Structure 1
Amino acid sequence: MASKIRYSAVAVVGILVASATAWWLQRGPQAQMQVAPAASSASAPAGASRPPAVEAATVAITRIVDDSQTVGSLRSRQSVVLRPEVSGRITALNFRDGERVRKGQLLVQFDDQLPRAQVQQSQAELSIATANHQRNQDLVAQNFISQRSVDESGANLQVAQAKLALARATAERLKIVAPFDAIAGIRVVNVGDYLKDGADIVNLEDLEAIYVDFRLPERFQTKLQRGQRASIDIDALPGRKFVAIVQAIDPLLDANGRSVGVRACIDNRQMHLRPGMFARVNTVFGEREKALVVPEEAIVPQGGKQFVLKLVPGAEADALVTQRTEVKVGVRRPGKVEILEGLNEGDRVVTAGQQRLQKDGTTVRVVDLASKAAAQPASAASAPQVAQASTPTAAPAKALAGPNPCLQAQAAGAVKPA
C-alpha cells in the first residue's frame, strides 16, 4: 500500500515539473520579442537626429566636343567601267593592269579599216564638191550659168561635209580614251577578242581623293554643314586616323531608317585607302572650350524635365541642405553630362543618395569617397601608366606637296551668289 502511494507522488511531481518546463519555454521567445521592439523604439530617436549621408560632386569646366559616331564605306571620287558603243574586234590595248592613265589617253583600239576607208571616200567626195562649187561661183560671176546651179553645188558641198563628219565620228567610236586621270583596274579582255556593244572592258578609279558615304540620324540634320570635319578610322589600317571634309548632304531623308545621307572627302594622295573599305566615322559638329559638366548620376529626370539636387548652405553653421533645381542638358558623354542652364561653376550637386531625400530642403551629410579612392597605394595607379606608355602611336603623316584635292573640289562645287 505504501509503495502505491509513493509511485503516485513521484508521478504527480514529474507532471508538475514537465508543465513548468513547457510554460517557461513558451514564455521565453515572447519576452524577447517584447524586449526587442522596446530597444528599437528607444534607439529610433537617436538615429533620426542624424542627417542622411549622400555623395556630392562639384560642377566643373571642361572641353566638350559635340560629335556623333557612325560607320560608312569608301568609294572612288570618280569611277567608270569602260564599254564599247559599237561591236568590233580589239586590235590594241594601250595600258597595263593597275597602272595610271591620263585623261584623253587612247586605251582600247578596235578594228577600224572599214571606217577609215569611208573617211577617205568622204574626203574625196568633199574635194570634188568643193571644186565644183568654186567653179560654179566663177561661172555665175561671168553670167555663163544661173544662180540655181550655184545653189545646187553649195548644197552638194554641205552634204559632202556632213558625210565626212559622219565617217570620222564612226571611226572615233572605235577608239576608247580615258575620261579622266585614274588608275586602271584588271582588264577582262585581250587583243583579238570580239566584243558586243556594252561589254565590260576595264574599270578606272580616281583615287587621288576618296569619298566616304555614311548616314546619321535625322536629329543631326540641323547640325550638318558643308566644310565640317570628320575623323575616320579604318579597321584595315589600325592606328591610323584620317580627316574627311563634308562635301554633300542629301536633301532627302530615308523614310525607313529616318536618317540623312552624308558624303565626305579624304585626301588620298598617299594611296593608302581603297574603295570598298569599311570606315568608322566621328563627325564633329562643334567644340566648346568652357563647358559646364556634372556626373550623369546627378541628373534626376522627372516628367520630361531634368533636375539636380544642389547643395546650398543651411541655417546652421557648416550645414548643407538640398535645393531641387531644374537644368537644361546638352551633350552627353560617358559618365558626364553638359549643363547649359541652371548651374554655375563651383556648385555642388548630389550624385548618390537621392532616394534618401524625401523633400526639398533636407539637411544632408556629405560623404567624400573620392579621398578614399585617392588614398590607394601609388603602385596600383602606376600600372595603367606603364601600359599607356607602351601603347604604340601612329606615325605622323608625311606632308604632301600641292593643294588638297578635297578643298579644290569643294571650291569648284561652291555656288557663287548672283
Structure 2
Amino acid sequence: MKYTTYLTLGMLAAMAACGSNEDSLEGKKAELAGLREELVSKKEEIRALEQEILKIDPDAFNASGNRLNVATLPVNPTEFQHKIDIRGEVQSRKNVMLSGEMMGRLLEIHAYEGARVKKGQLLMHLDAEQLENSIAEVKTSLEFAEKMYTKRKSLWDKNVGSEVQYLEAKNNFESLQRKLATLNSQLDMAYIKAPFSGQVDQVLAKTGEIVQPGMPLMRLTGNSDMYITAEVSERYLGKFHRGDEVTVNFPSLDKSLTSTISSVGQVINKNNRTFSLEVKLKEMDELMKPNLLAVIEATDYTNDSAVVVPTKLIQKDNEGHFVFIVGKDEGKEVAKKARVELGKTFRGQTEIATGLETGDVLITEGYRDAAENTILSIIRPTADSGE
C-alpha cells in the first residue's frame, strides 16, 4: 500500500515538473523574442543618435577611434554570363527495330538479348526453301539460254540466220538474268543481318513463328552515334545558336562533360510552346543509354563589360535596392548608399544595370552595420569578388 502511494506521488511530481519545464521554455522563448525586438530598436536609435552627434561634432568619434572597420572592393567591368538548366535525354541514331521484309516461317534466331554483334552478322533467318528452288530452276534455264544466245550471236555475226531469232535469244537470256537477280534479292530478305555493330536489346519474335512484312523482330542498339535532345521554352528563341558551348550533367552517372549545340529547331511545338535543341555527345560511355536523363547548362545571356557585385551585398529598404560604397565627407571616408537597378543574377553574382560606375568602392565586410555617413576605417581591400 505504501509503495503504491509513493509511486502515485512520484508520477504527480514528474508531471508537475514537466508542466513547469514547458511553461519555463515558452517563457524563455517569449523573453528572447522580446529582447531581439528591443535590440533592433536600440540599434536604430544608436544609429540615429550617431548621425545627430556627427552633424554637431564630426570628430566626436575620431577622438576615441570609434570607426566602423570595413573591407572594400573596387568596381571594375567584367564579363557576366547567365545560364539556365535544360532537361534533356540521350538519344541514339543507332537504336533501331529490325522488321521482317518478307513473309515466311522463322527458322532460327542466332543472337539473343545482351549479345554483342558486328555489322553484317546473321541475326535471324526465315524459311526460304521455295525461293531457293526457284533460284535453282532459273539458273538451269539461264545456262541453256546463255548457250542459245552465244550460238545465235555467233551466227548473226557471220550474217547467218534471222535477226528475230538472234533478238529472241538475247532477250530470253537477259530476262532470266534479271529474274535471277530479283530472286537473289528476295532470298537476302530471308536472312536478317545487323546493319551496324551494337548490342541486341530485345528479341520479340519466336522460332517457328510466321513473320509478316513490317513485323517487329528485334531491337538493336549502338552507342557510337549518340546525342542529346531537349525541348526549350519559346521565350529563349534566339538565345542559342549552333556551335555554342554547353556543359552537360548526367545526374545518374555523377558525370559532366563539355560539348556544343549541333542544331536548333526551327519549328515551335504548338502543344507545349517549345522548340528542340540537339547537343553532340563527343565522349561515349558504356553506361550511357538511350533515354538517359541529361541536364544541359546553356548560356542565355552574356555581357562582356558588366558591373557585377556579390548578391549578398545588396540590401533593400522602402526606396528600393542599394549597396554601401565608400564616399568622402570633409576628407573623411564614410559609408554612402548607392541606389541600384538590378540585372540578372547567377551563382551569387548580380549584374548592376544602373547605380554603380567604374571606380566606385564597395563595402564588402561590415556593410550590415553601416549607415549613411558612418565614418569608416578600411582594414583591408578585398582582392576577389567577396564570395
Q: TM-score range by the shorter chain?
A: 0.5 to 0.7
Decide which of 233, 236, 241 is 1:217's aligned counterpart. Answer: 233
Distance in 2 separating the partners of 1:218 and 1:50: 58
Distance in 1 separating the partners of 2:284 and 2:309: 43
Distance in 1 separating the partners of 2:147 and 2:289: 59
SS at 1:272's partner residue? coil
Question: Is the 1:59–1:293 contact (alpha carbons within 8 Å) kept by the matching residues of 2?
Answer: no
Which residue of 2 is the match for residue 93 of structure 1?
109
Which residue of 1 is the match for residue 60 of structure 2?
none
Decide which of 338, 347, 351 is 2:361's aligned counterpart. Answer: 347
Kindly tell me: are residues 72 and 158 of structure 1, through their superposed partners in 2, closer, same or farther at Cα, counting changes over 3 Å?
A: same
SS at 1:252's partner residue? coil
Which amino acid is the alignment partner of residue 95 of structure 2? Answer: S
Query: Is 1:102–2:111 an aligned residue pair?
Result: no
Distance in 2 separating the partners of 1:47 and 1:270: 65
Which amino acid is the alignment partner of residue 374 of structure 2? Answer: R
Kindly tell me: are residues 197 and 347 of structure 1, through their superposed partners in 2, closer, same or farther at Cα, counting changes over 3 Å?
A: same
Which residue of 2 is the match for residue 252 of structure 1?
267
Kindly tell me: are residues 129 and 185 of structure 1, through their superposed partners in 2, closer, same or farther at Cα, counting changes over 3 Å?
A: same
Kindly tell me: are residues 69 and 141 of structure 1, through their superposed partners in 2, closer, same or farther at Cα, counting changes over 3 Å?
A: closer
Question: Is the 1:58–1:294 contact (alpha carbons within 8 Å) kept by the matching residues of 2?
Answer: no
Distance in 2 separating the partners of 1:287 and 1:334: 14
Which residue of 2 is the match for residue 336 of structure 1?
349
Please show how residues 8-407 of structure 1 align to structure 2 within 5 Å. Answer: 49=52, 58=73, 64-238=80-254, 240-267=255-282, 269-284=284-299, 292-296=307-311, 298=314, 311=325, 313-314=327-328, 316-318=330-332, 320=334, 329=343, 331-339=344-352, 343-344=357-358, 346-348=360-362, 364-365=373-374
Distance in 1 separating the partners of 2:341 and 2:74: 12
* Structure 2 gap ranges (5+): 1-47, 56-67, 381-387
Question: Is the 1:90–1:111 contact (alpha carbons within 8 Å) kept by the matching residues of 2?
Answer: yes
Deviation at 1:313, TM superposition (A): 3.8
Deviation at 1:130, TM superposition (A): 1.8
> How many aligned residue pairs are there?
315
TM-score (norm 2): 0.66
Aligned CA-pair RMSD? 4.2
Larger radius of gyration: 1
Kindly tell me: are residues 182 and 320 of structure 1, through their superposed partners in 2, closer, same or farther at Cα, counting changes over 3 Å?
A: same
Which amino acid is the alignment partner of residue 364 of structure 1? Answer: N
Distance in 2 separating the partners of 1:292 and 1:214: 33
Deviation at 1:298, TM superposition (A): 3.7
SS at 1:186's partner residue? strand
Question: Is the 1:56–1:352 contact (alpha carbons within 8 Å) kept by the matching residues of 2?
Answer: no
Deviation at 1:210, TM superposition (A): 3.1
Which residue of 2 is the match for residue 410 of structure 1?
none
Kindly tell me: are residues 289 and 122 of structure 1, through their superposed partners in 2, closer, same or farther at Cα, counting changes over 3 Å?
A: same
SS at 2:166's partner residue? helix
* Structure 1 gap ranges (5+): 1-44, 357-362, 372-418
Question: Is the 2:325–2:360 contact (alpha carbons within 8 Å) kept by the matching residues of 1?
Answer: no
Deviation at 1:112, TM superposition (A): 0.9
Deviation at 1:59, TM superposition (A): 5.1
Deviation at 1:191, TM superposition (A): 2.4
- Pick 1 or 2: higher relative contact order, CA cutoff 8 A, min separation 6: 2
Question: Is the 1:57–1:294 contact (alpha carbons within 8 Å) kept by the matching residues of 2?
Answer: no
Question: Is the 1:218–1:258 contact (alpha carbons within 8 Å) kept by the matching residues of 2?
Answer: yes
Question: Is the 1:308–1:349 contact (alpha carbons within 8 Å) kept by the matching residues of 2?
Answer: no
TM-score (norm 1): 0.62
Distance in 2 separating the partners of 1:258 and 1:365: 53
Distance in 2 separating the partners of 1:167 and 1:175: 13
Between the aligned residues of both structures, percent identity stands at 18
Deviation at 1:80, TM superposition (A): 0.6
Question: Is the 1:75–1:213 contact (alpha carbons within 8 Å) kept by the matching residues of 2?
Answer: yes
Question: Is the 1:123–1:164 contact (alpha carbons within 8 Å) kept by the matching residues of 2?
Answer: yes
Question: Is the 1:100–1:183 contact (alpha carbons within 8 Å) kept by the matching residues of 2?
Answer: yes
Q: How big is each residue's C-alpha offset from its partner over 1:102-132, in whole Å with a ceiling of 9 and x where there is no partner?
A: 2222211101111111111122222222222
